[in-house]
Amino acid sequence: MADFILEIGTEEMPARFVPKLAEELRENLAALLDQGMVERGEIRTFATPRRVAALVEGIAAEQRRQEEEVTGPPASIAYKDGELTKAGLGFAKTQGVEPADLYTVSTPKGDYLAARKSLGGGKAMDVLPGICLDAVKRLTFPKKMHWGDYDFTFGRPVRWLLALLGEQVVEFGVNDLVSGRTTHGHRVMGPGPFEVAAAADYVRVAEEQGRVMLDPARRMQVVRERGAALAEAKGGEVVWNDGLLQEVSNLVELPVPVLGDIDPIYLELPAEVLLTSMQSHQKSFGVRGKDGTLLPHFLTTLNIEPSDPALVKKGWERVLKARLEDARFFWEADTGTDFQVWLDKLESVVFLGPLGSMGDKSRRLERLCRRIGEALSVSRNILPGEIADFAKAGRMAKADLVSEMVNEFDTLQGVMGGIYAERAGMGSLVSEALKEQYLPAGPDSPVPSSLAGAVLSMADKADTLAGCFGLGKIPTGANDPYALRRCALGICRIIMEHGLALDVRELLGWALEGYTDVKWKLPVGEALDKLVDFFGQRLRALFAGRGMSVLVVDAALGAGFDDIRTLELRVAALEAFSKEPDFEQAVLTFKRAANIIRKQGEEAGQELTGRYDAALFAEEQEKALAERLEKSESRFEELWAADDFAGLLGLLRELRPSVDAFFDGVMVICDDQAVRRNRLNLLKSLVDRLGRLADFSALQV
């Protein structure tokens, strides 16, 4: 057995490509080697901006041998008068076996000609070239490119290929490149080329002679550890950003952290502005003191060991100073501008085609935030002054979009609005709402921490959803240009994580009502129904993604999901109930009741109210069931008010013996129409109570 190395050398690739390529190459090689029946050990991958490589330990010299039975044409076609026909002889030739080795097998469909053929057993060196080429071709990129006059496409031009099995070169080609044993190192610190004698020597040659740190995790560790030490020497700590740290680690082949200085005058800028300027434009990290305030330093990462570190440091400081000087200019311009100036400018900023301007949107948000605040006022004890602040936050929400700072640093939208609102004396409630209005930004990002931020975020997302659905711009498949799925999911998460007693249908209805003089493509009622159904789909995906049973989720959704807060509690309680030993029997009992009501009620065109006449009860079992339902009614409402859905399911468990006895002893579909209707209404009262918890007919057991 020998080690195998495959390296693809390229022009510098974007940092976002690097980690994905390493994982893809590992998966591709693993699948192709298994498919090629080549036994192997562990696969280790390496990736830098200029290369992606895979080292496979212990590849067998020969393919694994195995036999398989292959069936051919029916025996009636393969033989005639006891001799092989052309079809039979053709099958033998195709399978590479002698006609004498053919035989027939019996199957449920009849007798067929068959052959047993041996697979594998060839040399690994003979199959590896094809595996290498396929592994390279299967690598994916957001966009591939051509170079020269070649047909082959890749994320960046390929400059060299290295492929070795032990000491032997595995020859394959891409365009005019042919694989060999030559690798290249760091562009400056060890350019090479270098000959690699054997696959086992690859890592040593690349790292020692080429000065390339192959492992991205190790590069990240070097940046973090050395950067932390440099900051600590100045009495501070690095303001790490995990996404930027990964990006920086994949921008370099030889990480060399350097601590630079900035003029203390720039510390007058908000920390968010300083950090954004450092991170977005210079791929650098801020440094803060023990009290959390920023220090006049920044951490950057070089891709070289400079001969004159002081000169390189000075260059970085000069470039960052220019960015910070711009930021200070924008800051001073914005702090001298009144909010009303920005609000006036919003009238000229288009929101979305027929939906008006950003000024129109801000007025809709003002009204919608007020309505949401009023709806929540009792459950959350919100004072009238706070509701007024919610409305003000809605009106001011988009003002910073036309500020100088956000025009330059678009990632600070909302954040700068909050900072400017606080400086203008609008209060912490308004400023926090503006800062948090775009949260959550994705499925894993946090929701707004403040109630004001939650209200504004929901209003903003609901307004966008209502406008797009009214225009018929409904996501289909993977097409979602306005991120409406993210909007809906964001509203759901906010309601659940803040525990808000808010009717989502009402919220979406208010959002649709906020639009005036808009020519809708869909009638308002149809748009609202489609919106609510859209939320149901998002909730289904959300709970399924959390590992909940799809049947349980569908049953809970079937009982309604206008109240998303209690839906989450019902799903959790029903999921726990589904793991109880009596779950299946309980479901069968309640499902039977639901099915009878559906068939004898809606499907039969008979209106059932759930109100029954005890005087018409003739059997003890129906009297007992009615008595249990009446006695448990107040307890049911108490548990519902307390959000004790586990207790409610326990109460249903107590009712089940009476329901089973009812079905055993009572003929529901009897000849007497009055008695039949009365019994159906008794079951309807039970099903109505069940239906508040779940649609038991949706459960399969």
Residue 631: is its pLDDT beyond 80? Answer: yes
> Which of 183, 209, 235 is the C-terminal boundary of a domain?
209
pTM to 2 decimal places: 0.79
Question: Which residue, among 625, 628, 639, 637, has the nearest Cα to 682 in the 3D structure?
Answer: 625
Note the pLDDT of residue 377: 93
- Whether residues 10 and 156 fall in one domain: yes
Do 493 and 617 belong to one domain? no
Do 558 and 694 form a contact (C-beta atoms < 8 A)?
A: yes
How far is residue 659's CA from residue 624's CA, in Å, rounded to a whole number? 9
In this predicted structure, the answer to whether residue 206 has a pLDDT above a threshold of 90 is yes
Q: Hey, which of 82-86, 109-113, 125-129, 241-245 has the most confident mean pLDDT? A: 241-245
Residue 33 within any structural domain of the chain: yes
CA distance 137 to 580: 51
Domain membership of residue 569 (yes or no) is no
The fraction of the chain above a pLDDT of 90, given in percent, is 57
The residues, any chain, with a CB within 8 Å of residue 16's CB and separated by 6 or more, are 247, 250
pLDDT classification of 517: cutoffs 50, 70, 90: confident
Question: What CATH code is carried by the domain that includes residue 623?
Answer: 1.10.730
Q: Residues 341-362: what's their mean pLDDT?
A: 94
My answer on whether 142 and 92 are in the same domain is no
**Which of these three, 500, 532, 547, is where a domain ends?**
547
Q: What 3-state DSSP class applies to 27?
A: helix
Nearest residue to 207 (alpha-carbon basis) of 180, 181, 186:
186
pLDDT digits 0-9 by tens, 150-168 = 778 888 999 999 999 999 9
What confidence score (pLDDT) does residue 429 get? 95
Pairing of strands 294-302, 285-288: antiparallel
- CA 290 – CA 186 distance, rounded (Å): 38
Residue 560 lies in a domain: no
Interatomic CA distance for residues 331 and 270, integer angstroms? 9
Q: What is the CATH number of the domain that holds 422?
A: 1.10.3210
Are 368 and 374 contacting, i.e. CB atoms less than 8 angstroms apart? no
Q: Would residue 575 count as lying in a domain?
A: no
Cα 406 to its chain centre, rounded Å, is 27
Range scoring the smallest mean pLDDT among 124-128, 319-323, 337-341, 416-420: 124-128
Q: 613 and 625 in one domain?
A: yes
Chain-centre distance for alpha carbon 219: 27
Tell me the CA distances in angstroms from 125 to 56, 66, 163, 240, one per residue in order: 14, 19, 11, 47
Query: How far, CA to CA in Å, does 485 sit from each of 476, 478, 498, 539, 650?
Result: 10, 10, 20, 10, 36
Residue type at 72 in one-letter notation: G
Mean pLDDT computed over 264-289: 92
Read off the amino acid at residue 442.
G
CA–CA separation, 595 and 592 (whole Å): 5
User: Are 136 and 18 in a shared domain?
Assistant: yes
Are residues 601 and 511 located together in one domain of the fold? no
Note the pLDDT of residue 317: 93
Same domain for 323 and 359: no
Residue 424 included in any domain: yes
Domain enclosing residue 674, as ranges: 580-698
Cα–Cα distance measured from residue 174 to residue 177, given in angstroms and rounded to the nearest whole number: 5
* Same domain membership, residue 203 and residue 74: no
- What does the pLDDT read at residue 384? 93
635: helix, strand or coil: helix
94 — pLDDT class (breaks 50, 70, 90): confident
- Please report, to the nearest 10 degrees, the dihedral formed by the alpha carbons of residues 492, 498, 503, 504 taken in order: -20
The set of residues, in sequence order, having a beta carbon less than 8 Å from that of 53 and lying 6+ positions away, is 5, 6, 7, 8, 25, 45, 46, 47, 162, 202, 214
- What does the pLDDT read at residue 659? 85
Q: Are 183 and 206 in contact (CB under 8 A)?
A: yes
Q: Is residue 526 part of a domain?
A: yes
- Neighbouring CB atoms inside 10 A of 246's CB total 19
Residue 581 CB partners (closer than 8 Å, separation 6+): none
The span from the CA of 424 to the CA of 432, in Å, is: 13
Q: Is the pLDDT of residue 119 over 80?
A: no
Q: What is the pLDDT of residues 251-261, one digit of tens each?
A: 999 999 999 99
Residues 362 and 228 in one domain: no
511 touches 368 (CB < 8 A):
yes
Does residue 105 form part of some domain?
A: yes
**Average of per-residue pLDDT across 113-140:** 83
Q: Tokens standing for 598? A: 């559906």
197 shares its domain with 273: no
Same-domain pairing of 409 and 517: yes
345 in a structural domain? no
- Domain count across the chain: 5
Quote the radius of gyration of the chain (alpha carbons, Å). 35
Same domain, 540 and 598: no
Q: Quick one: pLDDT at residue 701?
A: 55
Q: Last residue of a domain, which of 493, 525, 547? A: 547
Helices then strands, counting H and E runs in the chain, come out as 26, 18
Mean pLDDT over each residue of the chain, to the nearest integer? 90
Q: How many angstroms separate the CA atoms of 679 and 663, rounded? A: 11
- Residue 435's contacts (CB-CB under 8 Å, 6 or more residues apart) are 414, 415, 417, 418, 419, 453
